[in-house]
Structure 1
Amino acid sequence: MNVGLGLPITDPPSLLSWARRADAGPFSTLGLLDRLVYANPEPLVTLAVLAGATTRIRLQTEVLLGPLRETALLAKQTATLDLMSGGRFTLGVGVGGRPDDHVAAGTDIRTRGRRMDAQLTTLRRVWSGEPYGEGAGPIGPAPAREGGPEVLIGAFAPAALERVARWGDGFLCAAPLPMTDGLFRSVERSWSAAGRAARPRLVAQVNVALGPDDTIEDGRTAIGAYYRFLDDPGHVGLLTTPREIRAAVTAFTGLGADEVMLYCWARDPDQVDRLADVL
């Protein structure tokens, strides 16, 4: 079973320590979320820095808000990160549902789904070395992985889930365990109906904080601030004991997850070693 770590966002300079510790441990991936109108570090820039500080572990946006970005530049940035990291980059991508991000980016939140559909088509074309379009040739460099970095699509709505079969390599599910089985099976049905070979890669995500009381409280504060826009942010779960975390990894694996991302919200980098011991 592959288990990755989602990185906290409240202390960006500490992420170098997180990355080096995780690279030396049992973890498969480092993930980093994306917002625009928030105090999080920009994920592509940050993961590029972490790529240089690591040698083995994969690097993943979880998820990058594609419609906020200009497509040609995004194609170049992601191909460059994949190339410079030796093919260790995974583009987790979603539409973004918070109005202030779209206001700041100058994009229309009402058309974010259609915009991302067009982006995914263009990204695949650019990564394969084809010309960008009329009046513009190919955009390099070529990514390390033929055809471009792995693409995981984060989604909840049925129409958005169908994007996985059309453009993705797999599905990134940031839903609670009771919802995950239905979402996984929906993605698999769409995948089969689209005539895709093999099966989609399925990645689950669960929020964790492990350590003394101040670490757990720091995690609760951070996750509460991030999800304050929700009508009921209190329903966002946070696992805080080794038993809960082991049980979650086992349960998601039983549903068919190929990887479970333990998303950390507290800043304490000693959590890397604690979580390694849990595994």
Structure 2
Amino acid sequence: MDLGLAVPFIDHELLLSWAQRADQGPYRRIGLPDRVVDDNPETLVMLAAMAAVTTRIRLQSEILLAPVREPVMLAKQCATLDRLSGGRFTLGVGIGAREEDFRAVGADFSRRGQRLDEQLAVMRRVWSGLPVTADAGVVGPSPLDARGPQLLFDAFTPNALARIARWGEGLLCAALPEQAGGMLQLVRRQWQEAGRIGKPLLIGQINVALGPEATVDQARANMLRYYGFAPAFAELSAMEMITTEDGIRQAIDAYRELGVDEVMLGCWSDDIGQIDRLAALAG
């Protein structure tokens, strides 16, 4: 079972240290969150910096708020990062849940799902080397694959999950294993019904904090702040965070039984020692 890391909102220099440490193994990928209205580095810029100090690990946006961005420039940025990283970039996208991120850039929160579908069509056209319009040339650089970088979706509803078979390569399922089975089955069925070859990439993600009491306390405080716009969800998420070795192993095993390809461990504390503590659970 491959493991990945999802890093918290922390200082950009510390993020580089997390990336370098994770690059030493055994992690398959490292994921970086995205917000507009928060004190976080811009996600694609930060992933480019992380690409420059790593050689092996896959670099993932999770989840990039695509509807707050202009699609042609987003396609160009993603293709550049794909080339810069030697094909190690994974574009994880979603529609977002905070209206303030959309207000900050003048985007329409109410039609963000439709906006994402429109963007994906434009981005695929850019990546395939076709002119975006009749009076404009081709927008480069070309990604290493004509379909673009690896594309994952964070989604929960049937309509949103259907984007995986239509546009992407797989699902980032940010839920406890006992909540994930139905979504995973639906994605597999939609993939087959769409006539896609092979199978979708399925990644489970669990929230963890492993270390001394201060690490766990900081993780829970960070989660409560981050999801403060939805207090009930924030309280539940903080309560469900897994904070023991046995609990994390059990969750990984449960996802393994569900047939996922990888499990992401979402860290909410900036305690970098978690990288080694969690790596010890990989076996």
TM-score, normalisation: structure 2: 0.96
Q: Find the partner of 1:247 among 250, 253, 262.
A: 250
**Map 1:100-119 → 2, pairs under 5 A:** 100-119=100-119
Give the Cα separation in 2 of the matches to 1:239 and 1:197: 36
What SS does the corresponding residue of 1:173 show, helix, strand or coil? strand
Is the partner of 1:9 in helix, strand or coil?
coil
Offset from partner CA, 1:182-233 (integer Å, 9 cap, x none): 1111111111111111111111111111111111111111111111111401
How far apart, in 2, do the equivalents of 1:171 and 1:248 lie?
Answer: 18
Q: Deviations over 1:139-182 (max 9, x none)?
A: 11111234210100111111111111110111111122222101
The 3-state SS of whatever aligns with 1:216 is helix
Q: Is the 8 A contact 2:82 2:89 kept in 1?
A: yes
Distance in 1, matches of 2:21 and 2:176, equals 28
- The one-letter code of the counterpart of 2:69 is R
Shift of 1:250: 1.0
Structure 2 counterpart of 1:165, one-letter code? A
How do 1:147-162 residues align onto structure 2 when only pairs under 5 Å count? 147-162=147-162
Report the Cα offset of residue 86 of structure 1. Answer: 0.2
Which residue in the other structure is 2:235 paired with? Answer: 234
Q: Which aligned pairs between 1:187-198 and structure 2 lie closer than 5 A?
A: 187-198=187-198
Note the C-alpha offset of 1:16.
1.2
Matches within 5 A, 1:161-240: 161-232=161-232, 233-236=234-237, 237-240=240-243
Structure 1 residue ranges without an equivalent (≥5): none
Is structure 2 residue 3 aligned with structure 1 residue 17? no
Deviations, residues 79-138 of structure 1 (Å, cap 9, x unaligned): 000000000000000011211111112111111011100111111111111111221121
Number of matched residues? 279
Q: Tell me if structure 2 keeps the 8 A contact 1:209–1:239.
A: yes
2 CA distance for matches of 1:61 and 1:252? 22
Give the Cα–Cα distance (whole angstroms) in 2 for the partners of residues 119 and 254 of structure 1. 35
Instruction: Report SS of the residue matched to 2:132.
Output: strand
Aligned to 2:279: 276
Tell me the percent identity: 51
- Equivalent pair of 2:176/2:251 in contact (CA under 8 Å): no
Q: How far 1:11 sits from its partner (Å)?
A: 2.7
Cα distance in 1, alignment partners of residues 185 and 228 from structure 2: 30
Match of 2:96 in 1: 96
Partners in 2 of 1:4 and 1:164 — Cα distance?
Answer: 20
Partner of 1:67: 67
State the TM-score, normalizing by the size of structure 1. Answer: 0.97
- Note the C-alpha offset of 1:45: 0.7
SS of 1:137 mapped into structure 2: coil
- The equivalent of 2:144 in structure 1 is 144
1:4 corresponds to: 4
Cα distance in 2, alignment partners of residues 83 and 121 from structure 1: 21
User: Structure 2: 5+ residue runs without aligned partners?
Assistant: none
Letter in 1 for 2:257: G
Alpha carbons 1:95, 1:112 under 8 Å: kept: yes
Q: CA RMSD in A?
A: 1.0
Could you report, residue by residue, the CA deviation over 1:236-271 in whole angstroms, capped at 9, with x for unpaired residues? 121111111111111111112111110111001111
Structure 1 CA distance for aligned equivalents of residues 207 and 12 of structure 2? 18
